[in-house]
Amino acid sequence: MSDLHLADLSGDIVNEPIRKGFGRGLKRAGEENENVVALCADLTDSTQMSLFKEAFPHRFVEVGIAEQNLVTTASGLASMGKIPFCSSYAAFSPGRNWEQIRTTICLNDMPVKVIGSHAGLSVGPDGATHQMLEDMAIMRTIPNMIVIAPGDSLEAERATLAMAVNGKPVYMRLAREASPIISTLDTPFEIGKAYVYREGVDVTIIATGAMTYHALVSADKLRADGIEAEVIHCPTIKPLDGDTILTSVRKTGAVVTCEEAQITGGLGGAVAELLAENCPAHMKRIGVQDKFGQSGTPEELFEHYGLTSKHITMAVHEIVSKKKGQA
């Protein structure tokens, strides 16, 4: 894995909100291409668009609390040759404006970049109304839409730069709270690619977003238990990197997926669909199990909904036991 240039997680771990990387990446994209524009729905500081606004005030549009206008205006700008990035909380975009995203952006294949910030349970005390858990599922169903969940702030920065030049509709989900930085400035990122962050032969753990850190922690614990887990970081949910996933699962014969979202329709659903048609295997999905969120600290919520490294480790033991029992 030396060519991936991952961060050393054995010592002091650096934490930073994933959204911070988006803010830096958007400003860099604006510096590299004058056609990059930004639109926000009254959440400029929260979604980290403030860096772009300060650098390019004439290329920034504040639409107010009007998420449907946000994406429709962005689609119009895209039709005139601009590369629009539009941001809000994920609960409101795509939560409130899914139909406009579908019809004005994706049906016309407009290169609008929809940024859903503050996604997942880690919004914490804001509670169920603001904890968007269905975004990956609802965006994954729309034709032409790409879906990305970066693993840390540095990857979010790289993903933003890649989005600015790919010429397609893209949805990227971001988290509010600080999370461990697991990559470096030299770690590769390509839309549509998954990466084997740790090699193993007994089970494949496929994770996306900040859950990849928890998967890596679990892999360390499992090694002490005599289980060699292969960890795949999957920042692009759609299009899914089927080749990388199938190569691993054909070797290990067992899979655990990990996401900070509903397991229905998200990463777990996407992987299950892939394996059902190509390589049936023992599988367990870690994520929110058809429930709404609630108020609490991120740590309390991850424990309550079973999203910690401890829960991943337990799921792996269960699935490996099933595999051995069938052998």
Q: Which CATH superfamily is domain 15-180 in?
A: Thiamin diphosphate (ThDP)-binding fold, Pyr/PP domains (3.40.50.970)
Q: Which CATH number fits domain 195-326: 3.90.105.10, 3.40.50.920, 3.30.365.10, 3.40.50.2300?
A: 3.40.50.920
Half-sphere exposure of 193 (CA within 13 A, CB side): 12
CB 241 within 8 A of CB 263: no
Average pLDDT over residues 102-117: 98
Q: According to the model, what pLDDT value does residue 2 have? A: 54
Residue 327: pLDDT band with limits 50, 70, 90: low
d(Cα 285, Cα 288) in Å, to the nearest integer? 9
CA atoms within 13 Å, Cβ hemisphere of 268: 21
Q: Which pLDDT score is estimated for 47?
A: 95
Task: Tell me: pLDDT of 39 over 60.
Answer: yes
pLDDT in tens, 260-283: 999 999 999 999 999 999 999 999
Whole-prediction pTM value?
0.96
Report whether pLDDT(194) > 90.
yes
Q: Of residues 16, 54, 67, 318, which has the active-site annotation?
A: 67
**Do the beta carbons of residue 123 and residue 130 sit within 8 Å?**
yes
Q: Roughly what angle, to the nearest 10 degrees, separates helices 18-32 and 153-163?
A: 30
Q: Is 67 a catalytic residue?
A: yes
Same fold, 15-180 and 195-326: yes
What pLDDT, in 10s, does the model give residues 7-23? 999 888 999 999 999 99
Residue 229: pLDDT band (50, 70, 90) is very high
Q: Is the peptide bond before 239 cis (omega within 30 degrees of 0)?
A: yes
Give tens-digit pLDDT for 128-166: 999 999 999 999 999 999 999 999 999 999 999 999 999
All structural domains of the chain with their residue ranges: 15-180, 195-326
- What confidence category does residue 324 fall into, taking pLDDT thresholds of 50, 70 and 90? confident
The span from the CA of 19 to the CA of 199, in Å, is 29
Rounded-to-integer distance, Cα 1 and Cα 189, Å: 14
Q: What rounded mean pLDDT belongs to the chain? A: 96
Residue 1 reports pLDDT greater than 60: no
Residue count of the chain = 327
Number of C-beta neighbours around residue 184 at 10 A: 14
Listed in sequence order, the residues at least 6 apart from 5 whose beta carbon sits closer than 8 Å to its beta carbon are 183, 184, 185, 186, 187, 188
